[in-house]
Amino acid sequence: MAGLTLRGIHKAFGDTSVLNDIDLDIADGEFLTLVGPSGCGKSTLLRIIAGLESQDRGSVSIGGTSVDHMRPHERRIAMVFQNYALYPHMSVFDNIA
């Protein structure tokens, strides 16, 4: 596992800002939980980290390496969605791998 660093992450959808200058450091081996009300940006932040969504500003680094321009599979991380129906036609393996 490697550490994760977020610097100045900003994301807006139209005129609505959902993430405003998020800075976060998660050390190698550290465990973190994101909590908050529905619509506060938790899933958007996770999607940015995974590379499924791009940030408008800021940077994402994994293990000290910028992953801002890497495709999701190049980041070598995974996330499991709360709702399995993201790709219901695919197996569990195919959804995660």
pLDDT in tens, 3-13: 999 999 999 99
pLDDT in tens, 72-88: 999 988 777 666 556 77
DSSP-derived secondary structure letter, 17 = E
Number of domains in the chain: 1
pLDDT of residue 25: 97
CATH number reported for the structural domain that contains residue 63 in this entry: 3.40.50.300
Would you mind telling me the total number of residues written for the chain in this entry?
97
Cβ atoms 96, 80 nearer than 8 A: yes
pLDDT in tens, 5-61: 999 999 999 999 999 999 999 999 998 889 999 889 999 999 999 999 999 999 999
d(CA 37, CA 39): 6
pLDDT of residue 74: 93
Give me the phi and psi of 46, to 5 degrees please.
Answer: -65, -40
Pair of tokens at residue 75: 């980041």
Give me the phi and psi of 5, to 5 degrees please.
Answer: -130, 130
**Cβ neighbours of 55 (radius 10 Å):** 21
State which residues form the domain around 41.
Answer: 4-96
pLDDT of residue 5: 98
